[in-house]
Every structure is written in structure tokens, then in C-alpha cells.
Amino acid sequence: MPFPPSALSPDPMTTWQRIRRSWIWYALLLAPFCLFLLFVIWPTINAFRLSLYRMEGRNEVFVGLDHYVRLLNDSVFIDAIGNTVLLGVAFLVIVLPLSLVLASLMNGIRHFSTPFKVIYFLPQVTSAVAIALVFNYIFQPDWGLLNAILRNLGVADVPLWLAEPRHSLTGSRAAVTILAVWMGLGYFVIVILAGLQTVPRDLYDAAAVDGAGPVQSWRHITLPGLRPILIFLIVTGIIDAMARFSDLWMLGGPGGAPARSLQSIVMFMYQTAFESGNLNLASAVAVIFFMIVLLITAVNYGLFIRRETTTT
């Protein structure tokens, strides 16, 4: 039996009345959407456009991919990418296991755990500039606090810290990695601790009945239960590490002293745009940075996030 036309398609007047009833929600979304277009979409599109031009006086001359070829042959830019990747990997390799251990220990505290959470999270809400100033005093090779303590302990050959550009465990890269871990540890601990509290307690009780020890329970229950949290921290931690700027600027300036060992890709972009005045070349740097972050996010999605969603 054929259905009448009114049953096959909705009444246009009914749809229009539904839109009229919800117009207030569209009006509320309009202002944030316009701001998003103005401050995110348009600058992104304009950065792609500027990277293809060169300024000659007040005129823009189309140069195609010349800026990208120049950057890929620039050893300073390549070193800035290497520094960014190295500092990001070093940060994650240290902060993830350390925060996982600390969060597991804090999860076993049944009373007065809130003061520990506040203490660990305080660096996260403190100004990065203020923290960098304090660490600059701590790691100064001549009159810094850390080397003064080492001298009092009888160490004659104290490390150079922020004055050492070479790859070493007591060089400038090690110092800023310690700073990054100290700043980000509280956030990682709190997020992992929240994930630990979502793991059902019955699983641990059942494992204890079956004879599993603390290490076995941690390996077979805690780690699988934290898998989504760890994936989230890895993805966001990589992106945040790639975008480091304020603390590196305070410790090494726009050039990433000493010997550009602390210059990240964001600092190179800032120096190109506002010190050299080459906005077109800086736009090409921004596009390359955008593509690197996009590639890392896509790889992480393929390796972790999609596998997690398919298994669940």
C-alpha cells in the first residue's frame, strides 16, 4: 500500500517552525564562529598565501615554492627542527614514566592526598616566564644556585649547564628538559591519577584472589586501563612540546643561545618575522610547522587512536 506524500517527506512548514524555535542557539553560535573565522581560519589561509610571495617595496611578487626550497637548504632551520624534536622526545621519555609512577603511588594514599595534588599541580598554574627566571638563576654556571651547592660539596669541575651547547647530560638542552619536566609533571600526574580512579577496584580484588602480586596487577590491569589516558597525553604532549616558546626565549633569547642549541622552530619563526622582518619567509616556516604537527597527529591517530576506537 503506497504511503501518502506527507508521510514520505517532512512538512517544510514544520521544519521552518523548528528552525525558528531554535534561532536563539544559532545566534549564540554566530559570535564565536565569526571570531574563529577572523582569528584562526583567515590567518591560516593568509599564511599559506604569504608563503608563496615575496615583498618588493610595497608590491607582492609571486615566487611559488622558493621560500620552502630556501628553508629546506638552511642549516639553521634544520637545526631548529632537530632541537624541537629532540627536546620534545626527551621531555616525553622522562615525564611519562615518572608521572605514571608518582600517580600510582598517590593513588594508594587514602587520606590527605589533596595537598600532594595541589603541590604537584602548582607549577602548571605558575607563569612560565617566572619559572624560567628562577631556573635561569639555578643553572647559571658561574653564580647559579646548583653549581654553588656542587662547589660546597667539593665538586671542582662543575657543569656549564646553560653555557654548554653540546649534547650532554649537563648541557643547555638537559637544563631546559629538566625545566619542562618540572613544569609539566603535575599536569601529567593529575590526568593519570584521574584515569587510575576510573579503573574498577573489583579487578584488583579478583587479581589478588587469583594470586597476582602488585607488579602483575599494575602490568595487566592498571596499564591497559590507562591506555586511552596515555594516548591522550602522548598526542597532546607532542603538540605542546613542538610549540615551546616562552621558557626557551627567557633562557636563550630568540637565537636560542648558546650556539642556537635552544632555538626551536617557533623561535626561528619569530626571529624571521620580527627581527629580520621577512613575514613571507616566516609564513613558510609556519606552514611547515603546521604540516609537521598535522603529520604527527595523523600518525598518532593511525597508530593509537583509531586502534583504540576499533577495539572498543
160-201 per-position pLDDT tens digit: 999 999 988 999 999 999 999 999 999 999 999 999 988 888
Residue 61 bridge partners (DSSP): 54
DSSP 3-state assignment of 104?
Answer: helix
The torsion angles phi and psi of 22, rounded to 5 degrees, stand at -100, 20
**Higher pLDDT residue, 312 or 180?**
180
CB within 8 Å of 259: residues ≥ 6 apart: 165
Do the strands 59-62 and 53-56 form a parallel or antiparallel pair, or are they unpaired? antiparallel
Could you tell me the domains of the chain?
5-50 (no CATH), 68-311 (1.10.3720.10)
Helix residue ranges per DSSP H, 168-278: 172-196, 201-209, 214-217, 223-225, 227-242, 246-252, 265-270
- Give pLDDT, residue 186: 92
Helix 227-242 and helix 279-300, axial crossing angle in degrees, nearest 10: 170
For the segment 203-260, what is each residue's pLDDT rounded down to a tens digit?
Answer: 888 888 888 888 888 888 888 888 889 888 988 898 898 889 999 999 998 889 899 9
Arithmetic mean of pLDDT, 56-70: 91
Distance CA 235, CA 239 (A): 7
The per-residue DSSP string of 25-41 comes to: HHHHHHHHHHHHIIIII
Whether residue 122 contacts residue 186, with contact meaning beta carbons closer than 8 Å, is answered with: yes
CB atoms within 10 A of CB 237: 19
pTM of the model: 0.84
Taking the C-alpha atoms of residue 185 and residue 42, their distance in angstroms, rounded to an integer, is: 35
